[in-house]
Amino acid sequence: MKRIILMVLRLLWKVPYYFYLIWKCGKDESITLDEAYARVKKVTKAANHAGRVKIEAYGLENIPRENGFVFFPNHQGLFDVLVFLDSCPVPFSFVIKKEASNVILLKQVVAALRAIPIDREDIRQSMQVINQVTQEVKKGRNFLIFAEGTRSKMGNRLLPFKGGTFKSAVKAKCPIVPCALIDSFKPFDENSIRPVTVKLIYLPPLYYEEYAGMKTTEIGAEVKRRIEEAIAMAESQAQL
């Protein structure tokens, strides 16, 4: 909470403008997703800088050159999406739990980036979301989906990855990009405004040919394994 207050205070005179900029993207259909993404990215970078958060991104070369893929990172908290918005060079949308999609400003970002709220308690609506994401990915949109379903609340340790979250990617036969978030819980969960660094590692994608014969639970386990391996390696290097 302290860091959010810091962000607002340091950008106080720009907050109304930034809010309008993002709100407009969700209301004006003439604004393309590329344009909306560029605006949201600009605001995100300003907010992260104001909040004394440094983003270090690695493996950008692993992001597929052709659109129509899905990022699957570990989930540590509300700041996770801001890490991607700050570092990712290509536009993406995301699937967000319904209750979080009504949070002020986040609600406007959801509308601007055409993100899709999901009600995890409603099986029928969840299936509709899976089908919608499948079709959007086939059309060339990129998505971010948190396979744990909820944040781990265990720092850099992961919860099991839910096989069902990979159904859209499998149906779309698209590249699956594992992503390792490190210390993304610190900016908002720690009651501090000290400078903090968050790392994001874009790992080599799994292409359909690699996972075509796997069950979604097996895909989830493999993606989780790769992320855990990347986090362990990054943590060991930091200790040298």
Residues 141-152: tens digit of each pLDDT:
999 999 998 777
| The predicted structure's pLDDT at residue 240 | 64
- The band of 193, judged by pLDDT with boundaries at 50, 70 and 90, is very high
Q: Are 51 and 187 in contact (CB under 8 A)?
A: yes
pLDDT tens digits, 98-118: 777 677 778 899 999 999 998
pLDDT digits (tens, 9 = 90+) for 65-99: 999 999 999 999 889 999 999 999 999 999 988 77
Q: What is the pLDDT of residue 126?
A: 86
Q: CA-to-CA distance for 123 and 82, rounded, in angstroms?
A: 28
pLDDT at 39: 95
